[in-house]
Chain A
Amino acid sequence: MSTAAGTQGGPPDTRGPTAPLPLGILAAGIAALVVLLAGSVVVQVAQANSGNVVTQECEAEGVRAETSGGSPVKGAVGVCNIVEAIRSRAQTLIWGFGVAVGAAASVAGWTFYRRMPSKRQREQAIAGAVLGIQAVGLGLAAFWFRSGNVGTFARNFLNAEILEGSMDGFMRGIVNTLKLAFVGEFGGIVIGIVLAVLAISARRTVRAPARVYINFFRGTPLIWQLSFFYFLFLFGFDIQVETFTAAMIVFSLNTGAYAAEVFRAGIQSIERGQVEAARSLGMTYLQAMRYAVIPQAVRRVIPPLMNEFVILIKDTALVIVLGLTAENFELYNYAREIYSDTLNASAFVATAFGYLAITLPLIRIVNAVESRLRSGLTGAIGAH
């Protein structure tokens, strides 16, 4: 062999130069994002502590200290502080820093990641680049927001003082939301199991009504079902039903249709051999369902059912079309009540946090259950 590399032994080095500073790229990405987020909070807090008047700039943006009648506007100073902080020079610097450093990190990361000497360092470079892009995106969105009518927005949506004294109401709202959702889900599961067993029947006459029910409730809007069935109970059947109770029933009926499909899929996912084993021991079809199939199916459908539950929690807001008495206000209804009292939408923002307080823990549980089922511990949940 008389190639150039032959005298050296081994193939030529095609790896190229090793890139510098993987940790630097990662650090830049993190710094861009952290400064952007934490910096904005710091600016807000500082302004909230120092500012105590409604400035002229705020007035110019529509944040009035007094009404035209001369009475003070509740929360005007707080809103002005938010606006002033967003418009401040410090905020410009922080967002500018986030965008610039984030852009630098992502450019460096994408340019150099292939030349990192180890897998670990390559991942660091990529992580830095991705965080950088996120910082750039957030920063640009922030600048865009600031170019709009910040005063109008903050006045209508971010007036915390409007919410003073409404904690009890929100708590009651959470309780009522949970009541509607829990009763709806429980009723829905009961209806769903029955419908699922009917829907998998070999007999068309048994299947048909279940299919009609399921398709009807899945095929029409929940908001329509709420008002239609409420008035059907009230006038059609002449039952003096309260709106809150009617809502619970309709949520059950509606959830039943979705749960039926979930259970049907769960039952059909159980191996044929399970039914054969049960039947060959002399069990009837219903016994085989009850003792062999459904206990296994229930375990498999826990994650999709909990997803349905999370959806139902949010859908309880639709009960607003029926109108509730004050002690039955759920979260959304309560927020609208505050809105109609104050003509200020800040309560709706607060409501979102109320829903998240309920749904986030649930979503975590669903994920935990799912990963546990996936890891093969199929018998593990409620095995005893």
Chain B
Amino acid sequence: MPNEDGSLVRLENIHKWFGNVHVLKGISASIQQGNVVTIIGPSGSGKSTLLRTINCLEEPTEGQVHFDGREITDIRTDLNQVRTEIGIVFQAFNLFPHKSAKENIKLALEKVLKKNSGEAEEIAMKELQHVGLDHKADSYPSQLSGGQQQRIAIARALAMKPKLMLFDEVTSALDPELVKEVLDTMQRLAEEGMTMVIVTHEMGFAREVGTRLIFMDDGKVVEDGDPQQLMRDPKDERFRAFLSHVL
């Protein structure tokens, strides 16, 4: 059940303060089903904080987040239930080091979605196959490369059958030669029609895979539109300066 305006996510005038630091300065945006939104911007511009407000890992100081017909910033909303519908992948993978790849995926299926072990096992193996790592099912995170760990983390999030996937600089901690395998996985996911919000520094990926680009600076959305068009013809001065630095 989408929001009244037909969007999957709607942010309304989001402000976030960390102590005295004003990190998000009144952001409003809507994300439609099937959008692949990439958020770019200089470090400290609030990209990750914005992403993390979407599943309320960061609670907005002010403003509302609507997801799939519910206002999730309302204190009466069952956030734990909402979070099962929003997958998130982190820069630092955050796999559970004491559990094997398969157990990492099964944990929330069993404990949160209350699936029995057999069902969870089946889903876990399917998702591992999906990211091409079914042969690593019994490996522990410490035995896997960074790229493999990140793909497991993606599989763990996908196993919950989320309606939305959030990616928080997922390739920033990877060696250059491992970046591609993770980006390929994400591209396949986009092609399958998953709604995705991606904070990234990979400009090529933003242009080729993203269907929409948001450029943030100093806690505000500066540009928002078609990535190819925006990058070809950057209008805003700050966006132009940013592009000339990273391209």
Q: What are the residues of chain B within 8 A of A282 when measuring CB–CB?
A: 80-81, 83-84, 108, 112-113, 160
| A284-295 contact mask (Cβ, 8 Å, vs B): 1 or 0 | 100100011001
Is A283 part of the contact surface with B, judged by Cβ < 8 Å?
yes
Q: How far is the CB of B67 from chain A (nearest CB, A)?
A: 13
A contact face: mostly helix, strand, loop, or mixed: helix
| B142 interface neighbour in A277, A279, A379, Cβ under 8 Å | A379
Q: What are the residues of chain B within 8 A of A277 when measuring CB–CB?
A: 90, 94-96, 153
The residue on B at minimum CB distance from A292 is B96
Q: How far is the CB of A161 from chain B (nearest CB, A)?
A: 56
CA distance A104 to B35 in the complex (A): 84
CA distance A279 to B78 in the complex (A): 12
| B83 interface neighbour in A274, A279, A292, Cβ under 8 Å | A279
CA distance A266 to B140 in the complex (A): 21
Interface centre among B97, B107, B160 (most CB of A within 10 A): B97
Q: What are the residues of chain B within 8 A of A287 when measuring CB–CB?
A: 111-112
Total inter-chain residue pairs, C-beta < 8 Å: 68
Q: How far is the CB of A378 from chain B (nearest CB, A)?
A: 6
CA distance A274 to B141 in the complex (A): 13
CA distance A351 to B141 in the complex (A): 48
Interface size class of B (residues with CB under 8 A): 20 to 34
| A273 interface neighbour in B80, B83, B90, Cβ under 8 Å | B90
B92 touches A281 (CB 8 A): no
Is A211 part of the contact surface with B, judged by Cβ < 8 Å?
no
Q: What are the residues of chain A within 8 A of B80 when measuring CB–CB?
A: 279, 282-284
| B59-100 contact mask (Cβ, 8 Å, vs A): 1 or 0 | 000000000000000000000110110111010101111100
A273 touches B112 (CB 8 A): no
CA distance A274 to B92 in the complex (A): 10
Q: What are the residues of chain A within 8 A of B83 when measuring CB–CB?
A: 279-282
| A378-B97 in contact given A281-B84, A282-B81 (Cβ < 8 Å) | yes
B98 touches A295 (CB 8 A): yes
| B57 interface neighbour in A271, A279, A292, A379, Cβ under 8 Å | A279
Is B55 part of the contact surface with A, judged by Cβ < 8 Å?
yes
Interface positions of B from 161 to 190, Cβ below 8 Å from A: none
A273 touches B92 (CB 8 A): yes
Q: What are the residues of chain B within 8 A of A276 when measuring CB–CB?
A: 57, 90, 94
The residue on B at minimum CB distance from A282 is B84
A280 touches B111 (CB 8 A): no
| B108 interface neighbour in A271, A281, A295, A296, Cβ under 8 Å | A281
The residue on B at minimum CB distance from A270 is B97
Is A1 part of the contact surface with B, judged by Cβ < 8 Å?
no
A280 touches B140 (CB 8 A): no
Q: How far is the CB of A338 from chain B (nearest CB, A)?
A: 49
Is B10 part of the contact surface with A, judged by Cβ < 8 Å?
no
CA distance A64 to B59 in the complex (A): 84
CA distance A274 to B96 in the complex (A): 7
Is A383 part of the contact surface with B, judged by Cβ < 8 Å?
yes
Q: What are the residues of chain A within 8 A of B108 when measuring CB–CB?
A: 278, 281-283
B98 touches A283 (CB 8 A): no
Is B15 part of the contact surface with A, judged by Cβ < 8 Å?
no
Q: How far is the CB of A22 from chain B (nearest CB, A)?
A: 44
Q: What are the residues of chain A within 8 A of B87 when measuring CB–CB?
A: 280
The residue on B at minimum CB distance from A284 is B80
| B189-218 contact mask (Cβ, 8 Å, vs A): 1 or 0 | 000000000000000000000000000000
CA distance A291 to B107 in the complex (A): 8
Q: What are the residues of chain B within 8 A of A283 when measuring CB–CB?
A: 80, 108, 111-112
The residue on B at minimum CB distance from A275 is B94
The residue on A at minimum CB distance from B108 is A281
Is B156 part of the contact surface with A, judged by Cβ < 8 Å?
yes
| 15 A-B residue pairings within 8 Å (CB atoms) | A273-B92, A274-B96, A276-B94, A277-B153, A278-B108, A280-B83, A280-B86, A281-B83, A281-B112, A282-B83, A282-B112, A283-B108, A291-B96, A296-B98, A383-B140
* Contact surface of A with B, Cβ cutoff 8 Å: 271, 273-274, 276-284, 287, 291-292, 295-296, 299, 378-379, 383
- Shortest 3 CB-CB distances between A and B: which pairs? A282-B84, A281-B108, A277-B94
Q: A280-B86, A379-B141 are in contact. List 15 more A-B contacts (CB 8 A).
A: A273-B92, A280-B55, A280-B83, A280-B88, A282-B83, A282-B108, A282-B112, A282-B160, A283-B111, A283-B112, A287-B112, A291-B96, A292-B96, A378-B97, A379-B97
